Structure 1
Amino acid sequence: MRRLSLLYGHVARHPNSLAHSFTFIPINPLILRGFSTTRSHNDLSPFTRRLFKLPSAPSPPSQHHDSLAQFLTYASRISLPETSTVYVGTHYEYTVLQSLRRYALALHRIGGRDDAGIDLAGTWHLPEHERERAVRVLVQCKALKTKLGPNLVRELEGALRQAPVGWRTGQTVGMLVSPREATKGVRDALARSSFPLFWMMVERDGTLRQALWNARAEEMGLGALGVETRYDMSGHVDSGASSEPRKEVAFTWDGCDIPDMDAVEGQLAHAEDQWVRSWTDNLDGVQKNVLLDTIEEAFPGGCPETDMDGTVSEIHRVKVIEALKAKA
């Protein structure tokens, strides 16, 4: 196997290497967007998930918190030591979840007896993938101080083999996220894997510092994905007598910024509204489900006018309206 090269963002194309590998040296320096203050949880409704064929949101592993802010309040209330494994691991999982919303990743913490070692699960709403084809994502967070070895890649592959319902598709990627840089052993294991895998170095404050993925991930339609090194001009890092802008990498799609998850949720809400209005007006949340039930019953093989473009034929519309009236 040839040695993986790290050449300032150049693409490594040979079959046994990572598809993309990057150093922290600036390629195309830009002003970095500030740290996300968006909601740390996914606000997609059950109907939106059904309409766009997205998996149901997993049940949260805790009744006491489902965001970083709630966890910090809870940890303070029960005097959970900040050095404990539970505190460090949970804090890091929420930090990753919140940080990656900037790149259209809608993630949830999961847990329990049958979680197969998965910490976060969700969908990646990349451009051209946001409707019905959102990439399924399973994440393992490794907030470890010890050296990370290729065994972590094997563990992630095992988790993908036992993917929960909703993530057993050909559009599911596995991600390893750690505050440490990928070792050569990890990079080689990623390159050899037959699964679509990512490695992300996310610091404990949510800064994305490294992003690697293998050829298998690129083959599943992620060829337009890239990264750029950027400067945060407001977050200077002290370096001896001088200070330097903080650097991090950011995901791009076809050379452009990826809309954050707040923007994606707005786009999906708009598309959903267009879809409803293309059939009939004045429906509440319950009636939306009735409408979708009726359409699926009327067109069991799938209706070509349900692609959110608002161009339903009058013949199909009348058929659905008559079916709705019959149910009333």
Structure 2
Amino acid sequence: MYSGVSRYCSAVPYGIRVRWYAARAARAPSHLQTFLAQSTDKDQLSTTFRGKMFELQTLEALSDIGMELQHVGGRSDGGVDLRGIWPLERVKPNVIVQCKNTKMGCTPDHLRSLIGAMAEHRNNAIGVLATVHHRHFTRDVISLFTSSGTPLALARIENTQLESFVFNDAAEQLLQQLVITKRFDAYGNSKTVVMFPK
């Protein structure tokens, strides 16, 4: 069973606890804004620039659902681009994120690398493999993802928005059936909602 970000307004069922997250506008300048302001003289088409920008976009998107992450990516990052904690009401798992902004999309090797990077946190951590919104996860990635006993999530990011976010069974068990969705007002503005069943 997968939980994910929905593009449609939905009523919050009775017996579900809801937690809203503040809009990004109320925050101090983001790591992404600082990076872009300091990169005006850089080659914005280089893979290094695009990779770091995607890592920071992913950081912002996952911060919108309450994750508290630090950017640790670099040449020798050991497969970890973002690291932190997700301080939820019922559980506070460590989070390890690998970001892939590649032309060919994510491969099972990317997912295996993430699982390996999580070795020291297996009991209380979730690994997130993030890619750009127009890349889909291959059948082989999905197969490894669903069969893994390691808590994992797959994320697709568009700019700084979480386009989709799904958990495997191990992650759903760790996160106690957490549900993430978007709620829309009459004007089409959305808020991210994180819910737990009672």
In structure 1, which of residues 206, 209, 219 is the aligned counterpart of residue 173 of structure 2? 219
2:134 matches 1:170? no
* Structure possessing the higher relative contact order (Cα contacts under 8 Å, 6 or more residues apart): 2
Aligned counterparts, 1:1-328, within 5 A = 12=1, 20-22=2-4, 26=8, 28=10, 36-37=24-25, 38-39=27-28, 67-76=31-40, 79-111=41-73, 115-129=77-91, 134-161=92-119, 163=120, 168=121, 170-179=123-132, 180-203=135-158, 205-220=159-174, 222-231=175-184, 250-254=192-196
Deviations, residues 151-210 of structure 1 (Å, cap 9, x unaligned): 22112112212x4xxxx361111111111333333222111112111111111x211111
Deviations, residues 231-255 of structure 1 (Å, cap 9, x unaligned): 4766xxxxxxxxxx58x89452226
Q: Quick one: which amino acid aligns to residue 117 of structure 1?
A: G
Q: Quick one: which amino acid aligns to residue 123 of structure 1?
A: I
Greater strand proportion: 2
State the 1:100 CA deviation.
1.9
In structure 2, the CA distance between the partners of 1:212 and 1:25, relative to structure 1 (3 Å rule), is same
Q: Quick one: which amino acid aligns to residue 148 of structure 1?
A: C
In structure 2, the CA distance between the partners of 1:111 and 1:101, relative to structure 1 (3 Å rule), is closer
Q: Give 4+ residue runs of structure 1 displaced > 6 Å after superposition.
A: none
2:58 partner SS: helix
If you compute each CA radius of gyration, which structure gives the higher value, 1 or 2?
1
Aligned to 2:16: none
Q: TM-score, normalised by structure 1?
A: 0.50
Q: TM-score, normalised by structure 2?
A: 0.79
Aligned length: 188
State the 1:139 CA deviation.
0.4
1:227 partner SS: strand
In structure 2, the CA distance between the partners of 1:188 and 1:153, relative to structure 1 (3 Å rule), is same
Unaligned runs of 5+ in 1: 1-11, 13-19, 42-66, 235-244, 257-328
State the 1:21 CA deviation.
4.9
Counting aligned pairs with the same residue, the percent is: 26
In structure 2, the CA distance between the partners of 1:114 and 1:251, relative to structure 1 (3 Å rule), is farther
